[in-house]
Chain A
């Protein structure tokens, strides 16, 4: 589904990603962990098409198509969804209006007609229930005055409504209380399917206790320095990143797939 080869990315003139290789197949959940500033958000944003992140080498293919050549909105329409580490606020534009616009833009791209107003309400109510969001929230401005946790919930809620093929979650678990974490994790798990893949950026094992990954990658200084299964994350939780860094550096390896 997603194939990244030797991806190099610069931000503000500085090289942040220094050759990433990653293969994600449908149905798989990949976790990306790594110290602050190692380039996890950079990877997520590049996949979504943020222009401030400049690709200087390598490639990324999504379902065989050249992802990096697509406009950000077309990537979303093709089925790439990124849940932001820091979702923005847009006052005056209601969550409902925004989400309907997004859904219709995606439908239009695929030659489908706009969603019927009643169908939309039903869809939204179902998904909102799943995430424990109350009715009034749809009428409020997009993320306007939302708490940190509510914003994260809203990201997963949008994802549930838009039903993308590839979900890139950037620290969606950060800032959530214990109950919210469970709700959000359930929301993510509900979307696991043989046709959908996930790339989950996180610092904590506690999310991966719920959303058990098939693969775990450790990103350090712009390179994937180690890949493994769910046990790798548990080891990291116990021992930190130190032991990996002490291991003799090896050339970055492609993820097993």
Chain B
């Protein structure tokens, strides 16, 4: 089967184009974690006392927690004392405006295709760029401010908008939620904060671009987004990291809160370095993302395209608390070479007439292991709630694996549940059929995979759907595109 082995060989070739390292002068904490490090981070960020207290409580609680072992991934034990918990590029001079951003950093983001200037190409998108532990630039702030929209780095929000932070921080993902969320709460150094006031429809995509640059550092960022009554916001997150032999830990927390009649749409294109073709290096992406549809008629919608990371452990979830609230999860997760992903969602139906939709598309190639894990809970009193779940797996080659663990708990007799699942394989027959029509196996695979993902790509903001499509091709290492 020449065509198949050629294809597998093609896919094993690593082609991660964001793997460069930028030579930045960084201000780093010593390796290891203890209360002093937590205090140091807090001091570096000049945080108020209440915030330090919160961190310390998180840290002390974290010490009593155990790393979760239930997921369907394997990795050597992580030495939490061997990680640097704070690294920040040293500003050459104080940064007061975008023009003051260090040219090296500006270069770095240019290379990533995210220019930190408010120029036309990205005119519809406001970017908050987070490098290692700190936010380095936020674009379009002034324009957003005119509408009362707050979009800034988390550290800035702690100083400028302490009431909002205090009111909402940890209300969706408390620090005792899980091991990685606890760790994040203790040591997170930055992230993005967004608040959209009542009745305002945010006119542009808000976007955070996360970048790990420094060696041996973990990245622990925290994002908090609040859509007040009747507000709407669409938010996009992208990530990359340099190619390194060692694994790097990324443990983020994202909290979304939608009040009455509000809607938050959160999209992720996750492209952390996945490791080389032998499984060496890559990011451990252990992330807690959760949205609370708190108000009546509110909506939280997750769309994720996960192609990076050596290991992904991630379940963007919705707590459907308000009556008539809606939760959505659209996901494409791709593993190639030795990547492992254990990802999915939780939909907790608490309010009446709540509805949720889960569309999960898992693609496995090489020696990848792809697990979908989903939980749908219909609580007592969540009358007339509905869930529709669809989990599809696509296998490329014969050395990869796909697993599906749906967990459905219904305590409400009026609930309506629908679950569909499928597993298919790109077979030699399909590829040959395409070849017999003049299409190369690489283009054919790309075409079949994109067809498989279409339902999810359609949910992404237009310009990012194109990116996602390209990214999938690159991650499978397929040259060229069709169409």
Looking at the assembled complex, report how far the CB atom of A77 sits from the nearest CB atom of chain B, in whole angstroms. 5
A84 interfacial contact with B, CB 8 Å:
yes
Instruction: Report chain B residues within 8 Å CB of A91.
Output: 424, 451-452
Count how many chain B residues have C-beta atoms less than 8 Å from C-beta atoms of the other chain.
27
B424 (CB) vs chain A CBs: closest residue: A91
A168 (CB) vs chain B CBs: closest residue: B436
Inter-subunit contact A50/B432 (CB<8 Å): yes
A93 (CB) vs chain B CBs: closest residue: B451
B92 interfacial contact with A, CB 8 Å:
no
B440 interfacial contact with A, CB 8 Å:
yes
Inter-subunit contact A90/B437 (CB<8 Å): no
Inter-subunit contact B433/A105 (CB<8 Å): no
A71 (CB) vs chain B CBs: closest residue: B435
Inter-subunit contact B435/A49 (CB<8 Å): yes
Stretch of A96-104, A124-132, A223-231 at the chain-chain interface = A96-104
Q: Which of A34-75 contact B (CB under 8 A)?
A: 48-52, 71-73, 75
Instruction: Report chain A residues within 8 Å CB of B462.
Output: none
Q: CA of A72 to CA of B482 in the docked complex: distance in angstroms?
A: 17
Instruction: Report chain B residues within 8 Å CB of A97.
Output: 447, 451, 483
Inter-subunit contact A141/B451 (CB<8 Å): yes
Instruction: Report chain A residues within 8 Å CB of B447.
Output: 90, 93, 97-98, 101
Inter-subunit contact B436/A92 (CB<8 Å): no
B107 interfacial contact with A, CB 8 Å:
no
Q: CA of A91 to CA of B440 in the docked complex: distance in angstroms?
A: 18
Inter-subunit contact B448/A106 (CB<8 Å): no
Inter-subunit contact A90/B433 (CB<8 Å): yes
A145 interfacial contact with B, CB 8 Å:
no
A207 interfacial contact with B, CB 8 Å:
no
Q: CA of A105 to CA of B437 in the docked complex: distance in angstroms?
A: 9
Inter-subunit contact B448/A93 (CB<8 Å): yes
* Given A51-B1, A101-B483, CB of A90 within 8 Å of CB of B436: no
Instruction: Report chain A residues within 8 Å CB of B451.
Output: 90-94, 97, 141
A191 interfacial contact with B, CB 8 Å:
no
Instruction: Report chain B residues within 8 Å CB of A106.
Output: 438
Q: Which of B416-440 contact A (CB under 8 A)?
A: 424, 427-430, 432-440
Looking at the assembled complex, report how far the CB atom of B456 sits from the nearest CB atom of chain A, in whole angstroms. 11
Inter-subunit contact B430/A76 (CB<8 Å): no
Instruction: Report chain B residues within 8 Å CB of A202.
Output: none
A106 (CB) vs chain B CBs: closest residue: B438
Inter-subunit contact B483/A100 (CB<8 Å): yes
Residue from A88, A109, A162 whose CB has the most chain B CB atoms within 10 Å: A88
Inter-subunit contact B438/A82 (CB<8 Å): no
Q: CA of A82 to CA of B452 in the docked complex: distance in angstroms?
A: 26
Inter-subunit contact B482/A73 (CB<8 Å): no
Q: CA of A56 to CA of B429 in the docked complex: distance in angstroms?
A: 22
B443 interfacial contact with A, CB 8 Å:
yes
Instruction: Report chain A residues within 8 Å CB of B429.
Output: 88
A240 interfacial contact with B, CB 8 Å:
no
Q: CA of A93 to CA of B443 in the docked complex: distance in angstroms?
A: 12
Inter-subunit contact B448/A105 (CB<8 Å): no
User: Interface digits, A214-248 against B, CB 8 Å rule (1 contact, 0 not)?
Assistant: 00000000000000000000000000000000000
A175 interfacial contact with B, CB 8 Å:
no
A148 interfacial contact with B, CB 8 Å:
no
B1 (CB) vs chain A CBs: closest residue: A51
Inter-subunit contact B482/A88 (CB<8 Å): no
Residue from B424, B433, B436, B438 whose CB has the most chain A CB atoms within 10 Å: B438
Q: CA of A73 to CA of B438 in the docked complex: distance in angstroms?
A: 4
B454 interfacial contact with A, CB 8 Å:
yes
In the complex, which of the residues A71, A76, A77, A105 contacts B482, with contact meaning CB atoms closer than 8 Å? Answer: A105
What are 29 A-B residue pairs whose CB atoms fall within 8 Å in the complex? A51-B2, A52-B1, A52-B428, A72-B3, A72-B435, A73-B436, A73-B440, A73-B441, A75-B436, A81-B437, A87-B433, A88-B429, A90-B433, A90-B434, A90-B448, A91-B451, A91-B452, A92-B451, A93-B448, A93-B451, A97-B447, A97-B451, A99-B437, A105-B438, A105-B439, A105-B443, A106-B438, A158-B437, A162-B438
- Residues on A lying within 8 angstroms of B by beta carbon are 48-52, 71-73, 75-77, 81-82, 84, 87-88, 90-94, 97-102, 104-106, 109, 141, 158, 162
**Other A-B pairs, 4, CB within 8 Å; known A90-B448, A102-B439, A158-B437:** A71-B435, A94-B451, A98-B434, A101-B483
A-B pairs, top 3 by smallest CB distance, nearest first, are: A92-B451, A93-B451, A72-B435
